[in-house]
C-alpha cells in the first residue's frame, strides 16, 4: 500500500511540472514581446523594462522557467496589470468562491444523482426508470450556460423567488449550483443505475432476499454499498472537473469565482492573472485526481495495487 | 470478393442491431434531419440571416417569423438554419483534427511500446491535467478569438481521448494471429500498422468520433458564449444565445431557441453514439 502511495505521488510530479511548463509557455506563444504582453497595453517603457528584468525575460528560456518556478514556490504569481495587486491576492478569495460553488454542485449531484439512479435500477422498466433516464439523457446533452439561463428565466424572472446574480446568501448559491451540477448529476444517475443493476443481479443479493431480508435493507445495506464504489470515484473526479469547468456557470450568474476572474482577465489582456488562474485550477484538478487514486484502495479492497 | 461480402454482411448486422434500438433510431433520425438542415439550409432559409430589420426588433414568434426576431430584427429561424451548418462543420472539423493526431499518437504508442509509449502517454497525462474547457480557453487565448481557432483548440483538447482509445485497441489487435502472420510473411511495420492494425480499430474510433462531435459542438458554443469563439454577426448558436442574455426578460426566445437546437443535436449524437457502441460491440450492451 505504501509503495503504491509513493509511486502515485511521484507520478503526479511530471504532470504538475508539465502544467507549469504549459502555463509558463502561454505568454511566450502569444505573438509579441512577452515583457510587453505581461506589462499590459498602457505600460510605459520603464514598466516594460522592469518586468523584463524582474522576470529575467532577457535570459534564456530555461533560466526564465527556473525563475518562474522559484517565484511560484515563494507564492509569487506575478502582479495584475489592471489592479497592480499580487495575482495570488486577487485569486484567493475568488478560489474560495469557486470551491463553495463546486462543493454545492457536488451536494446536488449526490442527492439527486444517486437517488435517481437507485430508483431507476430498483424500478427498472417502469415509467419511473424511463422518465428519469430520459431526463438524464437530456441532462448530459444540455449546455450548462443555456440551462443556467433557463433557470434564471423561470425562478428569477417569472417566479421572482431567487436572485439572478450575485453572492452572499444561500439563495444566491441555488441557481449557479443547480446549473453547474446538472450535467454531473445526470452522469452520476446513469452510472448509479448501471452499477446498481449489475450488483442486484449478484448471488449475495439473491441470498439476502432468500434469507427473508426486507427489500429496504437488501437495497440500502447490501447492494448500495457495493454499487457506490465506481460512483464515488466519479464524484471525486467530477469535483475536480467542476472546479475548472465552472467558467460558464460563473459567467452566466456573475458568480465571482476563479473562472469568471479568468474570463475577465482574458478580456482585459491581464495575462499574469490568466496564467495564475489556469495554474491554480489545473493544479487543483491534478491534486483532486491524485486524492481519488489514493483513497480508491480504501473504497475497494479488491483493487490490485501492483 | 468473399472478404468484401463478409464485411458487408458484418456492417448490415451492425446496422440492424442499431435499427432495433429505438433510442439510437431516434438519434439517427435527429442527426439525419440536422444534416439535411445543415446542407440544404442556405437554400430554404426564409430570410437573410445577416439582414438587419430595426423596426422589427425582438418580435415574438409569429407566422411571419416562426422563431421570432433578435435585437437587430434578424429572423432567428434563418439564423438557426445557417447556424446548423456552422456547428456541424465545427463538430466535424474538430473530430477530424483530434482523430488524425490522436489516432497517430495512440497508434505509435500502442504499436511501438517502450520509450515512445511512455513519452506519448506522459504528454497525454499532462493534457488531462486540464479540465475539459480550460485547455481550449488557454489555446484560444494564445491564438486569439475566432471560429477557426476554436476548431483548433477543441480539436487539440480531444486528442487525448482518441490517443488513449486507439492505443488500447492497437495493444489488443497487434497480438492477433493475422498480425503475427503478416509479420511472419515479412510485412513492414508501416504496412502492418496501416493495413492490418488500424483498420481493425475503426469500430471504437467511429463510436468515439460520434460521441465527440456532440461534445465538440457544446464546447465550441460555450467558447462562443464566452466571447472567445464566433464573433458577431456570425449566426453561431452559442454566440446567438449569448447575445440574447441581455433580453432574457423581454424576449426569452432569443436565448431559448439556440439552446434547444444545441441540446437536440447533442442529444442526437449522444444516443446515436451509445447505439453504435452497442451495435459494434454487443458485449458492451447493458
Read off the pLDDT of residues B146-205 as tens digits, 9 standing for 90 and up. Answer: 999 999 999 999 999 999 999 988 988 888 888 889 888 888 888 998 888 888 888 888
Average pLDDT over residues B49-63: 93
Average pLDDT over residues A230-242: 83
Asked if the structure places residue A297 within a domain, the reply is: no
- Given this model, what pLDDT does residue A107 score? 94
Asked if the structure places residue A134 within a domain, the reply is: yes
- Given this model, what pLDDT does residue A101 score? 95
Inform me whether the C-beta atom of residue B129 falls under 8 Å from chain A C-beta atoms. yes
- Given this model, what pLDDT does residue B3 score? 60
- Given this model, what pLDDT does residue A180 score? 94
- Given this model, what pLDDT does residue A306 score? 54
Question: Per mean pLDDT, which of A205-219, B70-84, B157-171 is the most reliable?
Answer: B70-84
The top-level CATH class assigned to B31-48+68-280 is: mainly alpha
Inform me whether the C-beta atom of residue B3 falls under 8 Å from chain A C-beta atoms. no
Average pLDDT over residues A164-190: 93
Distance CA A222, CA A208 (A): 8
Question: Which ranges in A109-202 belong to alpha helices (H)?
Answer: 115-122, 127-141, 144-151, 170-199
Average pLDDT over residues A91-101: 94
Distance CA A301, CA A296 (A): 8
CA R_g for chain B: 22
Look at B31 and A288; give whichever has higher pLDDT: B31
- Given this model, what pLDDT does residue B42 score? 87
- Given this model, what pLDDT does residue B69 score? 96
Give the distance between the most distant pair of CA atoms in chain B: 76
Distance CA A18, CA B277 (A): 34
pLDDT band at B259 (very low <50, low <70, confident <90, very high): very high
A248–B134: do the CB atoms touch at under 8 Å?
no
Contacts of A243 in chain B (CB under 8 A): 131
Domain of residue A187: give its range.
Answer: 95-255
pLDDT band at A244 (very low <50, low <70, confident <90, very high): confident
Average pLDDT over residues A148-172: 93
Average pLDDT over residues B211-220: 93
Can you give the residue ranges of every domain in chain B? 31-48+68-280
Q: Is the dihedral of CA B221, B225, B227, B233 positive or negative?
A: positive
Mean pLDDT lowest among A182-191, A221-230, B27-36, B244-253: A221-230
Look at A147 and B283; give whichever has higher pLDDT: A147
Average pLDDT over residues A152-166: 93
* Mean pLDDT over each residue of chain A, to the nearest integer: 88
Proportion of chain B above pLDDT 70, given as a percent:
97
- Given this model, what pLDDT does residue B186 score? 87
Mean pLDDT lowest among A201-215, A247-261, B30-44, B67-81: A201-215
Q: 10 Å Cβ neighbour count for B264?
A: 15
Average pLDDT over residues B232-255: 93
pLDDT band at A178 (very low <50, low <70, confident <90, very high): very high
CATH code for the domain of A118: 1.10.3720.10
Look at A283 and A55; give whichever has higher pLDDT: A283
- φ, ψ of residue A164 to 5 degrees: the values are -75, -45
Which of A14, A251, A282 is the closest to B134 by Cβ? A282
Distance CA B126, CA A11 (A): 11
Which of B132, B226, B266 is the closest to A251 by Cβ? B226
- Given this model, what pLDDT does residue B166 score? 92
B134–A244: do the CB atoms touch at under 8 Å?
yes
ipTM of this complex: 0.89
Inform me whether the C-beta atom of residue B131 falls under 8 Å from chain A C-beta atoms. yes
Q: Residue B286 pLDDT > 80, yes or no?
A: no
Asked if the structure places residue A44 within a domain, the reply is: no
Contacts of B218 in chain A (CB under 8 A): 141, 143
B126–A142: do the CB atoms touch at under 8 Å?
no
- Given this model, what pLDDT does residue A241 score? 81
- A86 forms beta bridges with A79
What pTM did the predictor assign? 0.89
A245–B133: do the CB atoms touch at under 8 Å?
yes
Asked if the structure places residue A173 within a domain, the reply is: yes
- Given this model, what pLDDT does residue A47 score? 82
Q: Residue B98 pLDDT > 60, yes or no?
A: yes
Inform me whether the C-beta atom of residue B138 falls under 8 Å from chain A C-beta atoms. yes
- Given this model, what pLDDT does residue B209 score? 93
Distance CA B136, CA B155 (A): 9
Distance CA A144, CA A108 (A): 15
Proportion of chain B above pLDDT 90, given as a percent:
60
How many structural domains compose chain A? 1
- Given this model, what pLDDT does residue A114 score? 92
Contacts of B241 in chain A (CB under 8 A): 143, 145-146, 149
Q: 10 Å Cβ neighbour count for B202?
A: 14
Amino acid at each position: 500500500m505504501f509503495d503504491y502511495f509513493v509511486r502515485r505521488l511521484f507520478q503526479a510530479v511530471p504532470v504538475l511540472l508539465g502544467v507549469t511548463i504549459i502555463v509558463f509557455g502561454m505568454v511566450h506563444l502569444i505573438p509579441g514581446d512577452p515583457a510587453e504582453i505581461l506589462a499590459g497595453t498602457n505600460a510605459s517603457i520603464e514598466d516594460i523594462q522592469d518586468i523584463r528584468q524582474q522576470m529575467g525575460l532577457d535570459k534564456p528560456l530555461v533560466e526564465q522557467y527556473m525563475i518562474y518556478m522559484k517565484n511560484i514556490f515563494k507564492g509569487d504569481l506575478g502582479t495584475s496589470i489592471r489592479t497592480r495587486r499580487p495575482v495570488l491576492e486577487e485569486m484567493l478569495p475568488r478560489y474560495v468562491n469557486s470551491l463553495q460553488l463546486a462543493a454545492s454542485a457536488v451536494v446536488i449531484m449526490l442527492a439527486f444523482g444517486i437517488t435517481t439512479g437507485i430508483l431507476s435500477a430498483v424500478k427498472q422498466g417502469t415509467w419511473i426508470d424511463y422518465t428519469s433516464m430520459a431526463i438524464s439523457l437530456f441532462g448530459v446533452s444540455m449546455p450548462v450556460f443555456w440551462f443556467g439561463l433557463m433557470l434564471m428565466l423561470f425562478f428569477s424572472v417569472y417566479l421572482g423567488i431567487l436572485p439572478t446574480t450575485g453572492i452572499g446568501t444561500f439563495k444566491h448559491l441555488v441557481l449557479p449550483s443547480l446549473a453547474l451540477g446538472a450535467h454531473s448529476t445526470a452522469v452520476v444517475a446513469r452510472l448509479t443505475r448501471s452499477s446498481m443493476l449489475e450488483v442486484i443481479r449478484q448471488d449475495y443479493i439473491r441470498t439476502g432476499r432468500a434469507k427473508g431480508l426486507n427489500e429496504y435493507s437488501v437495497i440500502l445495506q447490501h447492494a448500495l454499498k457495493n454499487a457506490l464504489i465506481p460512483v464515488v470515484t466519479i464524484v471525486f473526479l467530477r469535483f475536480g472537473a467542476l472546479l475548472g469547468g465552472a467558467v460558464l456557470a460563473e459567467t452566466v450568474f456573475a458568480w465571482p469565482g476563479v473562472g469568471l476572474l479568468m474570463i475577465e482577465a482574458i478580456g482585459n489582456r491581464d495575462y499574469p492573472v490568466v496564467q495564475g488562474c489556469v495554474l491554480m485550477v489545473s493544479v487543483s484538478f491534478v491534486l483532486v485526481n491524485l486524492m481519488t487514486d489514493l483513497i480508491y484502495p480504501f473504497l475497494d479492497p479488491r483493487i490490485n495495487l501492483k | 470478393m468473399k472478404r468484401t461480402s463478409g464485411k458487408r454482411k458484418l456492417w448490415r448486422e451492425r446496422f440492424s442491431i442499431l435499427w432495433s434500438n429505438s433510442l439510437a433510431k431516434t438519434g439517427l433520425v435527429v442527426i439525419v434531419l440536422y444534416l439535411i438542415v445543415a446542407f440544404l439550409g442556405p437554400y430554404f432559409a426564409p430570410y437573410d440571416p445577416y439582414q438587419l430589420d430595426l423596426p422589427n426588433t425582438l418580435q415574438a414568434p409569429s407566422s411571419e417569423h416562426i422563431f421570432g426576431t433578435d435585437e437587430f430584427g434578424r429572423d432567428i429561424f434563418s439564423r438557426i438554419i445557417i447556424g446548423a451548418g456552422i456547428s456541424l462543420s465545427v463538430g466535424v472539423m474538430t473530430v477530424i483534427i483530434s482523430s488524425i493526431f490522436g489516432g497517430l499518437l495512440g497508434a505509435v504508442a500502442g504499436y511501438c511500446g517502450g520509450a515512445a509509449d511512455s513519452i506519448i502517454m506522459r504528454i497525454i497525462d499532462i493534457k488531462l491535467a486540464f479540465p475539459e474547457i480550460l485547455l481550449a480557453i488557454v489555446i484560444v487565448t494564445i491564438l486569439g478569438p475566432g471560429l477557426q481557432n476554436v476548431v483548433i483548440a477543441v480539436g487539440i483538447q480531444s486528442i487525448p481521448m482518441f490517443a488513449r482509445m486507439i492505443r488500447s485497441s492497437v495493444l489488443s489487435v497487434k497480438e492477433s494471429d493475422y498480425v503475427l502472420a503478416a509479420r511472419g510473411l515479412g510485412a513492414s511495420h508501416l504496412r502492418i500498422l496501416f493495413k492490418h492494425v488500424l483498420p481493425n480499430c475503426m469500430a471504437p474510433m467511429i463510436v468515439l468520433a460520434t460521441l465527440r462531435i456532440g461534445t465538440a459542438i457544446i464546447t465550441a458554443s460555450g467558447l462562443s458564449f464566452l466571447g472567445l469563439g464566433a464573433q458577431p454577426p456570425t449566426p453561431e448558436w452559442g454566440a446567438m444565445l449569448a447575445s440574447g442574455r441581455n433580453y432574457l426578460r423581454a424576449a426569452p426566445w432569443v436565448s431559448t431557441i439556440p439552446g434547444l437546437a444545441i441540446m437536440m443535436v447533442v442529444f442526437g449524437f449522444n444516443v446515436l453514439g451509445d447505439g453504435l457502441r452497442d451495435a459494434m460491440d454487443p458485449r458492451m450492451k447493458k
